[in-house]
Chains A and B, each alone.
Chain A
Amino acid sequence: MSSPYLPHEAEIFQRLEETPHIFTLRLRFTDPDIHAQYHFEPGQFNMLYVYGVGEVPISIVSDPQDEHAYDHTIRRLGRVTNVLAGLQEGDRIGVRGAYGRGWPVQQAEGKDVVLITGGLGCAPVVSVINYVLKRRDRFRRLIIMQGVKHSDDLIWREKYETWSKQNDTQVVLAASQGGAGWPWATGHITELVSEIDFDPQNCTVMMCGPEGMMIAAMKELLPRQVPESAIWLSMERNMQCAVGHCGHCQHGPNFVCKDGPVFNYPEIKPLLGIKGF
C-alpha cells in the first residue's frame, strides 16, 4: 500500500514576485513519470512541504491543461510560508496532491460566471478566471469581483485591467481604503453586488475569502433571486493530512480537505457563520 502522506520532490522552475508579500512558484515534479501522471481540477490544492519545516495547503492557480508546470501563488505569513518565500529557482520542495473537490467549472458551462473574492482569498478563483478565459465560448458573462482592505493589497492589477477590457466581462474592484490613484471603488465589495450585470436565473457564483465577507455577499445575492444551489464557496480550515484522516479541517459533518474545499452553499449553510465551527 503506498503512503498517501508521502510527498514527491518538485523543483521550483520559476519564481515570480507579485508583491513584497506575495509570490508565485511554478513547479514541476522532478520524476517525469510522476509529473506526467499528475492532474488536477481548478479549485483543488496541493500540500507543499519545506525541508525540515513542514507542510501547508495551497491552491493551484494554473490551468489544468498546462502540462509544463503547475503554479501556486502564496502569501508569506508564518513558519512555512516564510521559508517558502525565500526559496529560489532550482530549489526543491515536496509536493503531494491534488486534493479535494474543486470548482464546478463543467456545471458552469453555458451560464454566467460570477466570481466574488475578498481579502487575500483571490488565489483559488484565479484558476477559474484563467480557465474561463481560455475556453471563453463555453461560458456566458464573466463577472470578476475582488475586494481588498487596502488598494496596495491588490495583486495582478494589470491583469484585472486586461480582463476588464474583454467582451462580456465585468470587473469590479473595491478597496476598503483606496490610496492615491485608485481608479476603482472604495468600500466593501459586497455592497457592489447590486451593480453587477448578470442573469441570476442562469449563473454560477463562486466565492472565496473571509467567511464574513462571503455571508455578506450571500445577503446581496439571494434577494436578486440567485438560487442557493448556484452558489459555491471555498472554505479554509487547519489541515494536517489533506486526506480526511487528521480531523483538523472538520466543519460540522464535512471534512474541508476531501468534501471541499469548495462547497455548494446548501451543504454548509446550517453551520456557516456560527462561531466555533
Chain B
Amino acid sequence: MGEKDAYLLRERLPLLLEAVQAEGYECIGPQWQNEAIVYDILNQVEQLPHGVQVNQYPGEYCGEIHEGNVRCFAWANGPQALKPFLFAPRETLWRVHRDNDGRLQFESATPEAPKRAIFGVRACDLAALALQDRHFLESDFPDPAYAARRENLLLIAVNCSHPASTCFCASTGDGPVAQAGYDLVLDELDDGFMIQAGTEEGQAIMARLNLIPVTDGHREAIEIQQEKAHEQLRQVPGKQLRDALFANLDHERWDDVAGRCLSCGNCTSVCPTCFCHSEEELAPLDGGSSEHIRQWDSCFTAGHSYIHGLTIRQQTRERYRQWLTHKFGSWHDQYGRSGCVGCGRCIAWCPVGIDVTEELQAICGSDDA
C-alpha cells in the first residue's frame, strides 16, 4: 500500500464530495435507482447506495437494501461503466447548412464536456477506460469528443470489497484492486475509507480533507478484504485464447450457443470496452440544414456487417462468434491484450444468461492441459 495513504472517517465523507465540487467538478456517483446501481449526478453523499448489496447471476441482477449497513460501495457494479460518460450513446458529429445555391457549409459539433468527477469507479472500469483511450485517442485520427471529455475527467476509484458471482476480474488481471488510472482510490471499511492519490490533482484534493493516519487495524482489515475479493467463482481459461478461438472456428458449441442467443446485443451495450457505432443522417426538417450523428451499434445487428447485396453475418452463430473471437481473440492483435476486463456485465445482463466464461471453456477448454 502506498506511502501517502491516509484515512477518511466515514462522517467526513461529505468533505471529499465538497472538495471535489469546490474544484468546479460536476460530481457523478453510484445510486440505487430502478433496481440497479446507476451513475447519476451526486449532490450529497446521502444519495450513495447505503447498505445496498447486489446479487448477480447469469441473466440476473437483484439488489437488497440492508438497513443499518453503513457501507456505500458494497456491491460490484451496475449496467453502466464509465463508457457512456466518454463515448456517448448518441451524439452529433457535425452539421451541414445548405444555401439556396446548393452550397454546403460543414460545421463540427462542439461536444459537451463539463469538468466531471466520477465517484465509485471500479478497477475493471479503469482497465476498460484505458482500452477505450487506446481505441479513440491513440489513433491517427483522435476522436475530439472523447478527448474533450477525457481531458476533464476526475476519477475516484473504490476497490471492490464485494465482487459479484459474475465477476472474474482477478483472472483477467484487471481487479478487484485498482491498479492505475485513478486520481484517488478508496478502500471502504465500516468506520471510513483508506484514501490514496494516483495523481497530483488527487493529492491536492487529499490535502484539503481532514484525514487521520491509517492504523494497523485498518491495514489488516483492508488486506483481508482485498484477499477475499480475489476469491472469485468465475475465470477465463488460462491459455492463449486468441489462438485457441481461431483454431476452433468450426466448434459445435457455436451452434449450441446460437440456439440460446437472442442476438439482442445487450452484452455489447453493457460491455465497457465495446466501441462499435454507426453513423446516421438526421433527415433535414427545414431543408436548409442536416445533422450527422453517431450512436452505439452492435455486432449482433444485421446492419453491422451489411454490404450491398450481402449481410456477412446473417446468422446468430456468426455474430456470436464475431463477438467472442474479437473480444478474446483479435483484441490481442489490435490492442495488445484481451478486450475483456472481467466485469461480468455481459453475463448478468444477458436475458438468457449466456456466460462468456462458460462458452470459452467449452470452445477452448477441451484441449486444455
Instruction: Mark A residues whose CB is within 8 Å of B.
Output: 1-9, 30, 49, 51-55, 77-78, 90-94, 236-238, 240-241, 243-248, 250, 252-253, 255, 258, 270, 274-277
Contacts and interface: CB of A to CB of B under 8 A. Distances in A.
A246 B106 contact: no
Interface in B11-57: none
A1 B306 contact: no
A93 B144 CA distance: 23
A92 B279 contact: no
A248 B312 CA distance: 11
Nearest to B298: A247
A237 B307 contact: yes
Contacts of A252: 246, 325, 330, 333
B321 A247 contact: no
Interface string B314-333: 01011001100110001001
Interface of B: 93-94, 96, 98, 102-106, 108, 135-136, 139-144, 147-148, 246, 249, 275-281, 283-284, 290, 292, 294, 297, 299, 303-309, 312-313, 315, 317-318, 321-322, 325-326, 330, 333-334
A253 B276 contact: no
Given A9-B103, A276-B322, A248 B278 contact: yes
A53 to B, nearest CB: 6
A2 B141 CA distance: 9
A78 B303 CA distance: 14
A55 B280 CA distance: 9
B23 to A, nearest CB: 24
A29 to B, nearest CB: 11
A246 B277 CA distance: 5
B292 A5 contact: yes
24 contacts: A3-B93, A3-B108, A4-B142, A5-B279, A7-B94, A9-B104, A9-B106, A49-B292, A51-B290, A52-B290, A54-B279, A77-B309, A240-B278, A240-B294, A243-B141, A244-B141, A245-B277, A246-B275, A246-B279, A248-B304, A253-B334, A270-B246, A275-B312, A277-B322
Given A4-B141, A245-B135, A276 B318 contact: yes
Contacts of B313: 276
Contacts of B306: 238
Given A92-B104, A237-B307, A241-B279, A258 B297 contact: no
A238 B307 contact: yes
A6 B297 contact: no
Given A51-B98, A78-B308, 14 more contacts: A6-B106, A7-B94, A52-B284, A92-B103, A238-B312, A240-B297, A243-B139, A245-B275, A245-B277, A246-B297, A247-B275, A248-B297, A255-B334, A277-B312
Contacts of A275: 312, 318
Given A245-B136, A245-B141, A240 B103 contact: no
A255 B135 CA distance: 12
B279 A55 contact: yes
B140 A258 contact: yes
Contact of B281 (A52, A90, A93, A255): A52
B305 A248 contact: yes
A239 to B, nearest CB: 9
A2 B144 contact: yes
Contacts of A255: 334
A276 B279 contact: no
B294 A246 contact: yes
A93 to B, nearest CB: 8
A245 B135 CA distance: 7
Contacts of A55: 279, 292
Contacts of B140: 243-244, 258
A3 B144 contact: yes
A236 B307 contact: yes
Nearest to B299: A247
Contacts of B143: 4, 245
Contacts of A4: 141-144
A237 B106 contact: no
A209 to B, nearest CB: 13
A237 to B, nearest CB: 6
A94 B326 contact: no
Given A3-B108, A78-B308, A246 B278 contact: yes
**Which 9 A-B pairs have CB atoms at the shortest separation, nearest pair first?**
A276-B318, A253-B333, A247-B276, A4-B141, A243-B141, A253-B330, A1-B144, A3-B108, A52-B290
Given A237-B307, A245-B136, A276 B102 contact: no
Contacts of A77: 308-309
B330 A3 contact: no
A178 to B, nearest CB: 23
Contacts of B283: 52
Given A51-B290, A52-B281, A243-B139, A92 B275 contact: no
Given A54-B280, A246-B294, A5 B322 contact: no
A5 B92 CA distance: 11
Nearest to A51: B98
A248 B279 CA distance: 11
Nearest to B332: A253
Nearest to B93: A5
Contacts of A52: 281, 283-284, 290
A272 to B, nearest CB: 13
A6 B291 CA distance: 11
Given A245-B136, A245-B141, A276-B322, A8 B281 contact: no
